[in-house]
């Protein structure tokens, strides 16, 4: 293929897309707003599904390397009520088809698999315009410009590429997260680890929850989840982290002190993250030379565990179509015909599971969800 390809965003979807293209001898350039791969932490663990994410990693020729990143024993799950009473407890599955890996380690694997120079760090997209004779002009905030025949938006929830295809914007789901963590070796961490078990602890109730994960090195990371209006989020002041966390902990009045200690003793920088989602079943008309992958195409809550998996699968599927079809529009149409139904299905499950976790029937609804998954 002699067309120039610009991928906007160096998340898992954009990286997988570039890697699979390179496996087939097709060049692409990734434009990423962050200054480097180490600009920020990349979040916690991901369960990579055999039928989605691992398919993409095989297409990228990286499955064996991926297996070295798997964290055995960290997929155990425990559900408790607000008093800390254990309602469901399942051990890790050594043969799990959805093993856990660290997001940062997976991203690093993909970055290091690319030809040096593929990623242009520090390139935040400022403007994107279609040329009358075809292709797109891209302008970046630091002043540089470029042209590409094909543009793929892999730039996440607030994609700058998406408006070329659809006016749809993410909507607040009604649930927000606050990140929490305890450093390895602290007295609070040791007590918390005992409550968590060997994997993930989910303490949930209608409208709220504390979810914590134990890492093999003894660290604890997780988040508080609260069903709150956007106005409430603006009332939380994390300029004084300990005071802000106490304000969050007040939402869990009457809960076990062992659970609320995850909040009050957290040593993570508090990060308030509203959960947004694009409309379920989002589609757009075919627009020449441009499409989307990952959250830019189908942002959803994390409660189906599909976001990262779908992003990588999108990237691999799009790359395969671009390699297979000489006609770019045929390739993009074929990709989108598969993208829309699979993302709609995942978004439906994600919205349903969000209600399952923090709806009126929690925590019993969560117990039922995991018990059903274990039987299937």
CA distance 344 to 341: 5
Q: Where are the domains of the chain?
A: 5-70+98-170+278-356, 171-276
Domain 171-276: give its CATH code: 3.30.9.30
Query: How many angstroms separate the Cα of 327 from the Cα of each of 270, 321, 324, 337?
Result: 48, 10, 9, 16
Q: Nearest-5° angle of CA 176, CA 178, CA 180?
A: 155
> What is the model's pLDDT at position 73?
73
CA distance 150 to 129: 12
Dump pLDDT digits (tens) for 89-120: 998 888 788 888 999 999 999 999 999 999 99
Please state which CATH class domain 5-70+98-170+278-356 belongs to: alpha beta
> What is the model's pLDDT at position 343?
96
One DSSP character per residue, 105-157 reads: HHHHHHHHHSPTTSEETT--EEEEEE-TTSSEEEEETTS-EEEESEEEE---T
> What is the model's pLDDT at position 186?
63
Longest CA–CA span in the chain (Å) reads: 65
- Is the dihedral angle over the CA atoms 26, 32, 38, 40 positive or is it negative? negative
Dump pLDDT digits (tens) for 204-223: 999 999 999 887 777 788 99
67 Cβ neighbours under 8 A, 6+ residues apart: none
69 Cβ neighbours under 8 A, 6+ residues apart: 101, 102, 105, 106, 109
One DSSP character per residue, 71-104 reads: -TTTT-EEEE-TT--EEEEE---TT-SS-EEEHH
């Amino acid at each position: 293929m002699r067309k120039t390809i610009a991928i906007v965003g160096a998340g898992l979807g954009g990286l997988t897309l570039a890697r699979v293209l390179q496996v087939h001898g097709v060049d692409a350039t990734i434009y990423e707003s962050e200054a480097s791969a180490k600009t920020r932490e990349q979040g916690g663990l991901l369960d990579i599904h055999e039928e989605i994410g691992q398919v993409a990693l095989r297409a990228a020729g990286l499955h064996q390397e991926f297996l070295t990143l798997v964290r055995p024993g960290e997929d155990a799950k425990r559900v408790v009520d607000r008093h800390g009473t254990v309602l469901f407890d399942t051990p890790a599955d050594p043969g799990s088809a959805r093993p856990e890996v660290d997001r940062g380690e997976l991203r690093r694997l993909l970055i290091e698999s690319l030809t040096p120079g593929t990623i242009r760090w520090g390139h935040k997209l400022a403007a994107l315009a279609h040329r009358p004779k075809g292709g797109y002009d891209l302008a970046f905030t630091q002043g540089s410009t470029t042209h590409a025949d094909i543009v793929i938006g892999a730039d996440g929830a607030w994609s700058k590429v998406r408006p070329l295809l659809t006016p749809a914007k993410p909507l607040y789901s009604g649930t927000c997260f606050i990140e929490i963590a305890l450093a390895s070796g602290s007295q609070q961490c040791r007590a918390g680890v005992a409550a968590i078990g060997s994997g993930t602890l989910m303490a949930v109730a209608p409208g709220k929850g504390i979810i914590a994960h134990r890492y093999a090195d003894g660290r604890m990371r997780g988040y508080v989840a609260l069903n709150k209006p956007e106005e409430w989020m603006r009332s939380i002041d994390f300029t004084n982290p300990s005071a802000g966390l106490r304000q969050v902990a007040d939402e869990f009045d009457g809960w076990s002190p062992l659970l609320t200690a995850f909040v009050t003793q957290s040593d993570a920088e508090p990060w308030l993250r509203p959960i947004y989602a694009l409309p379920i079943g989002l589609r757009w008309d075919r627009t020449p030379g441009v499409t989307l992958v990952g959250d830019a195409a189908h942002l959803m809550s994390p409660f189906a565990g599909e976001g990262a998996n779908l992003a990588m699968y999108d990237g691999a599927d799009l790359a395969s179509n671009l390699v297979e079809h000489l006609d770019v529009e045929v390739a993009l149409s074929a990709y989108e015909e598969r993208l829309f139904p699979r993302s709609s299905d995942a978004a439906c499950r994600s919205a349903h599971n969000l209600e399952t976790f923090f709806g009126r029937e929690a925590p019993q609804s969560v117990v039922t969800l995991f018990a059903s998954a274990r039987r299937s």
